[in-house]
Amino acid sequence: MLIVDSQIHIWQNGRMSSHHRQVDNYTTEEVIAEMNAAGVDCAVIHPPTALGEPVNLYAMEAVKKYPEKFCILGHMDLQSPEREKIVAHWRERTGMLGFRFSFNQEHQKTWWTDGSLDWLWLACQKQDLRIGLLANGANIAAVGKIASQYPDLKLHIDHIGRGAGGRGIVDDTVFADLPNMLALAKLPNVAVKLSGAPSYSSAPYPYRNIHQYLRQIIETFGPERCFWGTDITRMPCSYRQCVTMYTEEMPWLKGSDLELVMGGAVVKWLGWKRPSQ
């Protein structure tokens, strides 16, 4: 079974936000060692937006060195005068299959609904680029409106639609508005990353108190639109436990459904043409 992590970060010469590992470097070689130990075959790199263009370039170097291991959802300056040209040529950059945006800066929060990114949705739809969005709360409805307006644009919601880590909201409380996200399953161009699941439970491994919510998501969206992942640098457990939580602790998730969730679905969704092994 191919196991693909739908979200990792790697970086050099900087620090991630406080809920991630507080190290100046988390290198390609370090993550490969952890992946190998955990039985993870490959991963989708999300260069940390706060660290700017250098992390895009670092991710591209990782793909050049290990094309069978990595692809990238990168970021760009959405206010650049060259923004439309950048999107038009994005696939010319090594390993880039699309973008990942959080829009969590104060000046970006209106971008979800004010129409200022209509050019982006249209351009990415035209170029067949995937977009991952760190959406939760009221922004879930915004994702639905964007997906409806651009039906050929493939969007996926990061971190189970629960938002980024560090908020301290867990268990039933963090899933209270889950029906709002489940309602988007009717839109075939919307998918969900199951990344970061352990961080949304206060229980010990295997975090059984949130399994019911993960099952609802997988059964509602279907395994072909649900992507296992970790965001490993902020997980409260080992990389291997992030894997076995799904492969060994959810008896209802098995066979071809398990294979899709653990890797097959995200490879197909992204259109990732991995080199022959």
| 8 confidence band (pLDDT: 50, 70, 90) | very high
**What is d(CA 225, CA 121) in angstroms, rounded to the nearest whole number?**
20
pLDDT at position 104: 86
The per-residue pLDDT for range 180-202, each reduced to its tens digit, is 999 999 999 999 999 999 999 99
pTM (two decimals): 0.97
For the segment 138-149, the average pLDDT, to the nearest whole number, is 97
How is the chain split into domains, by residue range? 4-270
**Could you tell me what percent of the chain has a pLDDT over 90?**
94
For the segment 153-163, the average pLDDT, to the nearest whole number, is 96
Say if residues 193 and 158 touch (Cβ distance below 8 Å).
Answer: yes
User: What strands lie across the sheet with 70-74, from one edge to the other?
Assistant: 4-8, 42-45, 70-74, 96-101, 130-133, 155-157, 190-193, 226-227
pLDDT above 60: residue 178: yes
**What is d(CA 187, CA 166) in angstroms, rounded to the nearest whole number?**
30
70 has which bridge partners? Answer: 43
| 39 confidence band (pLDDT: 50, 70, 90) | very high
Residue 176's H or E segment, with its range, is none
Tokens 């970086």: give the residue: 11
Q: Tell me which DSSP letter residue 258 carries.
A: H
pLDDT at position 275: 84
For the segment 117-121, the average pLDDT, to the nearest whole number, is 98
Mean pLDDT of the chain: 96
pLDDT at position 168: 81
pLDDT above 90: residue 248: yes
**Class of the domain covering 4-270:** alpha beta
**What is d(CA 177, CA 276) in angstroms, rounded to the nearest whole number?**
42
The two tokens of residue 173 are: 């409380």
The two tokens of residue 144 are: 């639905």
pLDDT at position 218: 98
